Amino acid sequence: MVITEIFKSIQGEGTRAGLPCIFVRLTGCNLRCTWCDTAYAFYGGTKLRIEEVLERVRELAGEGSGRVTLVEITGGEPLLQPETPELAAKLLAGGYTVMIETSGERFVGVLRREVVKIVDVKCPDSGEADTFDMANLGAVDAKDEIKFVISTRRDYEFARDFTREHRLAERVHAVLFSPVFADPAGAWPGLNARELAEWILADQLPVRLGLQLHKFIWDPAMKGV
Q: Is 14 in the site for ligand SF4 (CB under 6 A)?
A: no
In the complex, the smallest distance separating the C-beta of residue 69 from ligand SF4, rounded to whole angstroms, is 25
In angstroms, rounded to a whole number, what is the distance separating the alpha carbons of residues 70 and 99? 8
Q: Does 32 bind ligand SF4 (CB under 6 A)?
A: yes
Residue 10 CB, nearest approach to ligand SF4 (Å) = 20
Pairing between β-strand 97-102 and β-strand 46-47 as defined by DSSP bridges: unpaired
Residue from 13, 77, 125, 155 binding ligand SF4 (CB under 6 A): 77
28-36, 46-54, 158-166, 207-215 -> range binding ligand SF4 (CB under 6 A): 28-36
Residue 103 interacting with ligand SF4 (CB under 6 A) = yes
For residue 68, how many other CB atoms are within 10 A of its CB?
16
Looking at the DSSP bridge assignments, the partners of residue 70 are: 97
> Rounded CA gap, 90 and 185, in Å?
39
According to the binding rule CB under 6 A, does residue 29 interact with ligand SF4? yes
36 near ligand SF4 (CB under 6 A): yes
User: Do 32 and 128 contact (CB within 8 A), yes or no?
Assistant: yes
**Residues 167 and 197 sit within 8 Å (Cβ to Cβ):** no
Nearer to ligand SF4, 9 or 103 (CB): 103
Question: Using an 8 Å Cβ cutoff, are 5 and 48 in contact?
Answer: no
The answer to whether the Cα torsion of 147, 172, 103, 81 is positive or negative is positive
Query: What values do phi and psi take at 32, rounded to 5?
Result: -145, 70
Q: Of 10-18, 24-32, 138-146, 194-202, which part binds ligand SF4 (CB under 6 A)? A: 24-32
Question: What single DSSP character describes residue 181?
Answer: P
| Residue 144 interacts with ligand SF4 (CB under 6 A): yes or no | no
Tell whether residue 179 is a contact of ligand SF4 (CB under 6 A).
no
Among residues 28, 108, 127, 43, which one has the least CA distance to residue 75? 28
Mark the segment that binds ligand SF4 (CB under 6 A) among 1-9, 18-26, 71-79, 90-98: 71-79
Give the residue with the Cβ less far from ligand SF4, 26 or 54.
26
Q: Which stretch binds ligand SF4 (CB under 6 A): 11-19, 33-41, 90-98, 133-141?
A: 33-41
What is the side-by-side strand order in the sheet with 70-74?
46-47, 2-10, 20-26, 70-74, 97-102, 116-120, 145-150, 174-179, 208-209
> 12, 14, 76, 179: which one contacts ligand SF4 (CB under 6 A)?
76
Residues that bind ligand SF4 (CB under 6 A): 29, 31-33, 36, 38, 75-77, 103
